[in-house]
């Protein structure tokens, strides 16, 4: 207490009683607060079969709600969540012209500007970059300003009363401000290893940010081509219905002329009904595909935008790049492979940092402090005191025993590095597998498109011939309806193969790591 000013002044039992009262009040307050913990359980439902309702103690969500009255026995239990109108506010609608027809590159641009996944990845990359700065800050000294202040009252009973005084009271109080410096100047490379690990983490986060955009481009492309295929199927079913109506008209005409039976007319009408069902199903799939496209873009599903139809888009040629060269290119630029390698390098830096924990650390410490006070006893003259001090220390610390903590931390870092290495090799293997599979899928889709093209031509010829033959009385309605169904299947197969080829080309570009912008769409 030498740095604290002190003074002695007369007092009485009243001050001691006041201090005791304050202590008792603090104890009572602590007991009351301790009782609040069990009471917090009242925020939950009273039983497992009773609906929970807000009671007014929920922060922000339903803070103004009143406890719901107990339901009479036998009342059906309602487990609905209370309404919070603020949660129904959707994000602002992006800048979209509802009268404009958008093509794939424009849809990708909208998705990149509005999809939350890319913003999340960007924030993670920023966090990783800030982590590097936080580690680099440990190379600089830490300077802190401190203020210590206090007061102490002491009451001592006198063996013999003096002048009516039965107690001798003293009070010590004071303030001591200081500025302290701490600087770790040498640690055998521990901070450097931690900084390297943070930098590798930042590289991985930035690579994955670009990878998230590549993934978004592919997802929008895939949904766009799937939506185009659904449009084509809807058109085909409408055309098929018109073909079925033509068969029905021919059957009814022949019936009027006495050349057909009611069974033939019924069969033709059944074909019309079947075509109508296929049309309804196809248009439902079209609506689903449109919603999938909006979901891939990450925009409001209630929007109704005009999307261009790429049914006539020229198919890409089969890749002429050797498969081995394609694999090497992918392993050198795929975001997941690069990020996995950065994680491996970061884990190796973690081993270096753990090894440095076994070495001593050299530090510099310094402080500048001052103190000011006064002393007074029973009306004696006040004694004032001021003091200042400063100092600089250079020291070293070396942990000698920690019950195996550092050894365990080193083994843990080595295990992380081994796991990261295996993860890297697994990522490489998966990348090769995906490339080979994507190449095979594209080849199959292109071959299917060529086969479906030939099938569609043949089915169209068959339908025309079957309808003409039935109208001229040399064919049957069964052959005509079968040809109608065959033509529908062939046209749908052609539309699906066309979309599959486009999606397959996009998938191959994505797994190779070449789908990097809205201008690199196959």
pLDDT at 6 over 50: no
- C-alpha–C-alpha distance, residues 276 and 126, integer Å: 55
Going by their DSSP bridges, the two strands 101-102 and 165-186 should be labelled as unpaired
Question: Are residues 167 and 21 part of one domain?
Answer: yes
pLDDT tens-digit series, residues 218-276: 999 999 999 999 999 999 999 999 999 999 999 999 999 988 899 999 999 999 999 99
Look at residue 90 and tell me if it is in a domain: no
Question: Are residues 411 and 393 part of one domain?
Answer: no
Of the listed ranges 64-68, 96-100, 250-254, 393-397, the least confidently predicted one is 64-68
Nearest residue to 499 via CA among 459, 452, 429:
452
pLDDT tens-digit series, residues 408-420: 999 999 999 999 9
Look at residue 112 and tell me if it is in a domain: no
Question: Are residues 145 and 160 part of one domain?
Answer: yes
**Confidence category of residue 69, pLDDT binned at 50, 70, 90:** low
Cα–Cα distances (Å) from 269 to 255, 403, 481, in that order, read 13, 88, 10
pLDDT at 60: 64
Question: Are residues 411 and 333 part of one domain?
Answer: yes
Residue 371, SS3?
strand
**Confidence category of residue 68, pLDDT binned at 50, 70, 90:** low
Question: Are residues 416 and 288 part of one domain?
Answer: yes
Question: Are residues 324 and 448 part of one domain?
Answer: yes
Mean pLDDT across 328-348: 94
Look at residue 490 and tell me if it is in a domain: yes
Question: Are residues 469 and 324 part of one domain?
Answer: yes
Total structural domains in the chain? Answer: 2
Question: Are residues 449 and 433 part of one domain?
Answer: yes
CA 377 to chain centre: 68
Look at residue 240 and tell me if it is in a domain: no
Nearest residue to 229 via CA among 288, 162, 158:
288
**Tokens standing for 443?**
């080849």
Say how many C-beta atoms besides its own lie within 10 A of residue 475's C-beta: 17
Question: Kindly report the CA angle at 163 between 162 and 164, in degrees rounded to 5?
Answer: 90
pLDDT at 313: 82
Question: Are residues 308 and 380 part of one domain?
Answer: no
Look at residue 29 and tell me if it is in a domain: yes
Residue 122, SS3?
helix
Q: Comparing 247 with 374, which gets the higher pLDDT?
A: 247
- β-bridge mates for residue 449, sequence order: none
Look at residue 33 and tell me if it is in a domain: yes
Phi/psi at 50 (5° precision): -110, 130
Query: Which domain covers residue 13, as residue numbers?
Result: 1-37+141-186+361-397
Helix axes 477-512 and 323-333, enclosed angle (nearest 10): 50
pLDDT tens-digit series, residues 87-96: 777 777 667 8
**Confidence category of residue 77, pLDDT binned at 50, 70, 90:** confident
Q: Give 87's DSSP letter.
A: G
What CATH code is carried by the domain that includes residue 222?
A: 1.20.1600.10
Question: Are residues 325 and 297 part of one domain?
Answer: yes
- What is the 3-state secondary structure of 33-58? HHCHHHHHHHHCCCCCCCCCCCCCCC
pLDDT tens-digit series, residues 340-364: 999 999 999 999 999 999 999 999 9
> By percentage, how much of the chain surpasses pLDDT 70?
82
The answer to whether the beta carbons of residues 351 and 268 sit under 8 Å apart is no
> By percentage, how much of the chain surpasses pLDDT 90?
57
pLDDT at 11: 45
Phi/psi at 8 (5° precision): -110, 135
Question: Are residues 486 and 422 part of one domain?
Answer: yes
Q: Give 373's DSSP letter.
A: E
Largest CA distance in the chain: 143
pLDDT at 155 over 90: no
Look at residue 110 and tell me if it is in a domain: no
Taking the alpha carbons of 490, 492, 496, 498 in that order, is the dihedral positive or negative? Answer: positive
Question: Are residues 366 and 330 part of one domain?
Answer: no
pLDDT at 282 over 60: yes
Of the listed ranges 37-46, 246-255, 335-344, 469-478, the least confidently predicted one is 37-46
pLDDT at 367 over 80: yes
Going by their DSSP bridges, the two strands 101-102 and 306-307 should be labelled as parallel
Helix (H) / strand (E) containing 19: helix 13-34
Q: Give 139's DSSP letter.
A: G
**Confidence category of residue 458, pLDDT binned at 50, 70, 90:** very high
Nearest residue to 304 via CA among 130, 93, 146:
93
- C-alpha–C-alpha distance, residues 356 and 512, integer Å: 40
- C-alpha–C-alpha distance, residues 173 and 154, integer Å: 12
Look at residue 477 and tell me if it is in a domain: yes
Q: Comparing 519 with 114, which gets the higher pLDDT?
A: 114
Which residues touch 323 (CB under 8 Å, ≥6 apart)? 435, 436, 439
**Mean pLDDT for the chain overall:** 85
- What is the 3-state secondary structure of 165-205? EEEEEEEEEEEEEEEEEEEEEECCCHHHHHHHHHHHHHHHH
DSSP one-letter string for 330-398: HHHH-HHHHHHHHHHHHHHHHHHHHHHTTS-EEEEEEEEEEEEEEE--TTPPPEEEEEEEEEEEEEEE-
**Confidence category of residue 509, pLDDT binned at 50, 70, 90:** very high
């Amino acid at each position: 207490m030498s740095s604290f000013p002190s003074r002695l002044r007369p007092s009485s039992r009243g001050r001691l009683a006041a201090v005791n009262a304050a202590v008792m009040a603090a104890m009572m307050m602590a007991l009351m607060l301790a009782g609040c913990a069990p009471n917090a359980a009242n925020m939950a439902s009273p039983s497992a079969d009773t609906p929970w309702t807000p009671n007014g103690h929920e922060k922000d969500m339903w803070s103004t709600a009143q406890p719901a009255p107990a339901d009479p026995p036998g009342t059906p239990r309602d487990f609905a969540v209370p309404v919070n109108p603020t949660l129904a506010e959707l994000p602002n609608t992006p800048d979209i012209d509802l009268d404009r027809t958008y093509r794939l590159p424009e849809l990708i641009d909208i998705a990149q500007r509005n999809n939350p996944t890319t913003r999340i990845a960007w924030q993670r990359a920023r966090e990783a970059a800030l982590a590097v700065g936080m580690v680099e800050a440990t190379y600089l000294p830490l300077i802190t300003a401190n203020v210590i202040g206090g007061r102490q009252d002491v009451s001592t009973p006198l063996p013999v009363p003096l002048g009516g005084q039965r107690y001798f009271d003293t009070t010590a109080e004071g303030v001591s401000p200081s500025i302290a410096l701490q600087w770790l100047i040498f640690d055998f490379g521990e901070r450097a290893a931690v900084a390297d690990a943070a930098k590798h983490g930042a590289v991985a986060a930035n690579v994955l940010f670009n990878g998230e955009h590549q993934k978004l481009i592919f997802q929008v492309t895939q949904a766009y081509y799937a939506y185009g295929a659904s449009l084509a199927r809807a058109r085909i079913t409408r055309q098929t219905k018109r073909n079925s109506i033509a068969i029905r008209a021919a059957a009814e005409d022949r019936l009027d002329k006495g050349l057909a039976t009611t069974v033939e007319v019924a069969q033709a009408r059944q074909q019309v009904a079947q075509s109508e069902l296929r049309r309804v199903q196809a248009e439902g799939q079209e609506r689903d595909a449109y919603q999938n496209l909006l979901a891939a873009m990450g925009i409001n599903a209630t929007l109704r935008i005009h999307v261009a139809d790429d049914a006539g888009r020229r198919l890409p040629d089969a890749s002429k790049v050797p498969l081995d060269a394609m694999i090497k290119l992918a392993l050198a630029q795929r975001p997941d492979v690069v990020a996995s390698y950065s994680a491996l390098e970061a884990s190796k830096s973690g081993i270096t940092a753990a090894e440095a924990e076994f070495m001593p650390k050299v530090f510099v410490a310094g402080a500048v402090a001052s103190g000011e006070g006064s002393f007074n006893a029973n009306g004696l003259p006040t004694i004032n005191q001021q003091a200042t001090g400063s100092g600089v220390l250079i020291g070293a610390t070396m942990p000698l025993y920690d019950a195996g903590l550092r050894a365990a931390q080193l083994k843990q870092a080595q295990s992380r590095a081994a796991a990261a290495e295996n993860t890297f090799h697994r990522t490489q293997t998966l990348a090769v597998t995906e490339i080979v599979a994507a190449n095979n899928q594209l080849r199959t889709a292109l071959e299917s498109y060529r086969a479906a093209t030939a099938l569609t031509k043949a089915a169209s010829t068959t339908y025309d011939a079957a309808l003409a033959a039935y109208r001229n009385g040399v064919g049957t309605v069964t052959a005509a309806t079968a040809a109608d169904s065959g033509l529908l299947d062939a046209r749908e197969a052609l539309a699906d193969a066309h979309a599959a080829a486009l999606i397959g080309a996009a998938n191959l570009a994505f797994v190779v790591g070449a789908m990097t912008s809205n201008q690199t769409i196959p």
